Amino acid sequence: MTDSPGVSTPTQNASSSRPHRAARLEDRFNALVARKLAERGWVPRVEPYTGYGADGWVRVMARTLLAPPDSEPREVAERDAASAQRAVRGWRSFVTAQVPATEVEVQAGSRRHVLRSDRGGYIDQIVESDLEPGWHDVTLTVSGRSITAPVLVVAPDQRTALVSDIDDTVMVTALPRPLLAAWNSMVLHENARRVVPGMAALYRRWNEANPGSPTFYLSTGAWNVAPALRRFLARHGYPAGPLLLTDWGPTNTGWFRSGQQHKRDTLRRLLQELPQISWVLVGDDGQHDPQIYGDIAAEHPDRITLVAIRQLTPAEQLLAHGTPAPAEDDDVAARAATPLVVHGGDGNEIALRLIDAGVL
């Protein structure tokens, strides 16, 4: 086996090679924190995220962070079980010290690669792999410390998959009003977050009706909350699947990333990477999901077979964007000739609509 460079992801931002002033300030602050922690003996570790792939490749997602010298790497399931036994406030997820430009060795089946984290400590690259379809672990090693990251390899004969929004679709968060978003993300105990009734059962039933169908969870949330989201989904019985999140920090072009653009780019990427798949898109009418899904369906009318929109209550709409009505026209069908669009207040109502339509 030999070292091989990772293949760059197709959605990397090439609009500017010079970071925005905010990004440069963030880099200086992070470098100062990292230097102080390194003086105390802290060492690099890897925070693994759930990846996915297909025949011949996998997408590896992780982050390089600093950890106390006496801490031992713990696998995802072990850390999730430990966190479930204690109170976890959201702000703890954001207290991290990333390590940029760190080499990470990746073992994907019999293929070995050496990747390098970016300025935020993130690794998001496609690498060659000889893993068979199904769930596997890839091994990530930095500074002699190894941990595994789960990856889902989609079979070449798989024909359908589901993409689900998270905020206000599978869990009630009242995002994105700034004060409520800050409270829900950084203060609220993760066990206090409320599940949307019936959604987990709907996804499980969909998977039973479509054996082998993968479930992807797409959100504008920060990668910092990935462990908490993973625990929430598992605790409430949602099917396991890759989380596709983003980084809230500054970019080469501005102070913050566009959440809408993140969703559009991610959906287009999935369509490109898995060309044999027809997609089911699930979201809510609290923000822009209907518009985004409708636009994607208009671009790819033969690839989107179903759009399901959870309708927020007037109180939830008020918390989400300040008015009791939906934020915008949620008529997906008006934007594209999508074969089927269903609405419902929760997973139970959506399931009934799908049963009536003969889908479930």
pLDDT band at 288 (very low <50, low <70, confident <90, very high): confident
pLDDT tens digits, one per residue of 182-219: 555 554 555 667 899 999 999 999 999 999 999 999 99
Kindly state the percentage of the chain with pLDDT values over 70.
Answer: 66
Written in H, E and C, the secondary structure of the chain is: CCCCCCEECCCCCCCCCCCCHHHHHHHHHHHHHHHHHHHCCCEEEEEECCEEEECCEEEEEEEEEEECCCCCCCCHHHHHHHHHCCCCEHHHHHCCCECCCCEEEEEECCEEEEEECCCCCEEEEEEECCCCCEEEEEEEEECCEEEEEEEEECCCCCCEEEEEECECCCEECCCCCHHHHHHHHHHCEHHHCEECCCHHHHHHHHHHHCCCCCEEEEEEEEHHHHHHHHHHHHHCCCCCCCEEEECCCCCCCCCCCCHHHHHHHHHHHHHHHCCCCEEEEEEECCCCHHHHHHHHHHHCCCCEEEEEEECCCHHHHHHHHCCCCCCCCCCHHHHCCCCCEEEECCHHHHHHHHHHCCCC
Mean pLDDT over the full length of the chain: 79
- Report whether 11 contacts 265 (CB < 8 A): yes
pLDDT tens digits, one per residue of 46-64: 999 999 999 999 999 999 9
pLDDT for res 191: 61
pLDDT at 32 over 80: no
pLDDT for res 24: 59
40: tokens are 């105390």
Say which residue, 243 or 69, is predicted with more confidence.
243
- What phi, psi does 337 have (nearest 5°)? -85, 60
pLDDT for res 259: 72
Tell me the C-alpha distance between 147 and 282, whole Å.
32
Q: Which of 5-14, 184-193, 292-301, 306-315 has the lowest mean pLDDT?
A: 5-14
286: tokens are 């609290």
Residue range(s) in the chain whose domain bears CATH number 3.40.50.1000 = 160-356
Say which residue, 74 or 339, is predicted with more confidence.
339
pLDDT for res 222: 83
Residue pointed to by tokens 């998270």 = 166
pTM: 0.82
Tell me the C-alpha distance between 139 and 104, whole Å.
10
pLDDT for res 131: 98
pLDDT tens digits, one per residue of 111-135: 999 999 998 899 999 999 999 999 9
For domain 160-356, the CATH architecture is 3-Layer(aba) Sandwich (3.40)
pLDDT for res 42: 72
